Amino acid sequence: MNNVGMTVRRHSGAPRAIFYGVSSLVFAASAAVTFVWCASMEAMGGTPMPGGWTMSALWAPMCGRTWFDAAVSFAGMWNVMTVAMMLPAVAPALWRYFEALGDGRAAQAGGMTVMAGFGYFLVWLVVGVLVFAAGAQLTALAVATPALAHTAPAVAGVVVVMAGMLQFSAWKARWLACCGYSPSCGHAQLDVQAALRHGLRLGRHCLCCCGNLMAALLAAGVMDRPAMALVAAAIAAERWVPGGGKVARGIGAAAIAVGLVMVFRAMAA
């Protein structure tokens, strides 16, 4: 989020309450759908693999379905999951955008804010498509190469460790610092294309800022509900809790510890 000097007009409490009320409802609905989806995938079971882990049916089409069907299903559920995970982190930025659009135009500003949110989650949808493509390829390699499958748990632990180490980097600090300022709304206009571009900028920024934590979630297990909740809480906390830099480093230390435990367990198996 490039930051520009701008005056944010303050709305009355009613629009703010409506905005966060609607956001809470969207969050609750997406979290419920994600919970049901994870439970259904767990009920389907998976394929035991060398190394003591289980390959989820998430990465391959079910009987009678094509790879395209599997990709569409994954992308849809990935987007629902990212709404549940990322909305608490991005909602304050979307509210600032709503405020920047000006007084006396709440309905129009609300529509543009929805469009900005669409742009934001469109970025995560594209990421989901890429994640599925990579996951499907890695799954195929693991099935074809037992030796590679045996190393998967240790590799996952290394990914989590690396994600934790990035929490201490200047790169992370630079991106995280931007979250504490007003987003680059420019001269905010009631324009659909401008709103979409703003949402895309928010999405790209968020991807750069918390991509390492999402990678850790993928390594730990994308359907692991406790891991989802912890990563979502971490992403929101490092942005909005005072002293976000210290929070980010604490999250990094915890991730490194978890990753090392994963590696040691894999080596002992």
The pLDDT tens digits for 108-120 are 888 899 999 999 9
Name the residue ranges covered by the structural domains of the chain. 13-268
- State residue 181's pLDDT score: 52
Q: Which of 21, 58, 69, 227 is nearest to 138 (CA)?
A: 58
For residues 187 and 6, what is the distance between their CA atoms, to the nearest angstrom? 8
User: Quick one: average pLDDT of 237-265?
Assistant: 92
Residues in CB range of 62: below 8 A, 6 or more apart: 70
pLDDT of residue 227: 92
The pLDDT of residue 30 is 95
Q: Is the pLDDT of residue 5 over 50?
A: no
Largest CA distance in the chain: 64
Q: Quick one: pLDDT at residue 157? A: 95
pLDDT tens column, 58-83: 777 777 778 888 888 888 899 999 99
pLDDT at 179: 65
Q: What angle do CA 264, 257, 260 make, to 5 degrees?
A: 20
Tell me what pLDDT residue 186 has: 46
Q: What is the pLDDT of residues 9-52, one digit of tens each?
A: 444 577 888 899 999 999 999 999 999 988 887 777 777 777 77
State the pLDDT confidence band at 144, using cuts at 50, 70 and 90: confident
* Average pLDDT estimate for 130-154: 88
Q: What is the mean pLDDT of the chain?
A: 85
pLDDT at 86 over 70: yes
Q: Of 185, 195, 211, give the one whose Cα is nearest residue 89.
A: 211
What does the chain come to in residues? 269
User: What share of the chain has pLDDT > 70, as a percent?
Assistant: 89
